[in-house]
Amino acid sequence: MLNPEIAEALNNQVQLEAQSSHAYLAMAVWAETSGYDGTATFFYRHAEEERVHMLKLIRFINERGSNAVVPALVAPSPAFTGLKQAFESVLEHETRVTQSINEVVDLCLKVKDYPTYNFMQWYVAEQLEEEGLARRILDRLALAGDASGALYHFDRDITTMEAEAEGPTA
Report the nearest approach of ligand FEO to the CB of residue 77 (Å): 17
Binding mask 130-149 for ligand FEO (x = CB under 6 A): x-------------------
In sequence order, the 6+-apart residues with CB closer than 8 A to the CB of 141 are 83, 84, 87, 154
Choice between 15 and 20, CB closer to ligand FEO = 20
Closest approach, Cβ 106 to ligand FEO, in A, equals 18
Largest CA distance in the chain: 56
- Of residues 53 and 151, the one with the C-beta less far from ligand FEO: 53
In angstroms, what is the minimal distance from the CB of 169 to ligand FEO?
20
Q: Is 11 in the site for ligand FEO (CB under 6 A)?
A: no
Residue 53 interacts with ligand FEO (CB under 6 A)?
Answer: yes
SS3 content of the chain, % helix, strand, coil (to 5): 80, 0, 20
Is the separation of the CB atoms in 64 and 1 below 8 Å? yes
CB contact at 8 A, 40 and 31: yes
Residue 78: burial class (beta carbons within 10 Å; 0-12, 13-18, 19+): exposed
* Closer by beta carbon to ligand FEO, 50 or else 155: 50
Q: State the minimum distance, in angstroms, from the CB of residue 150 to ligand FEO.
A: 27
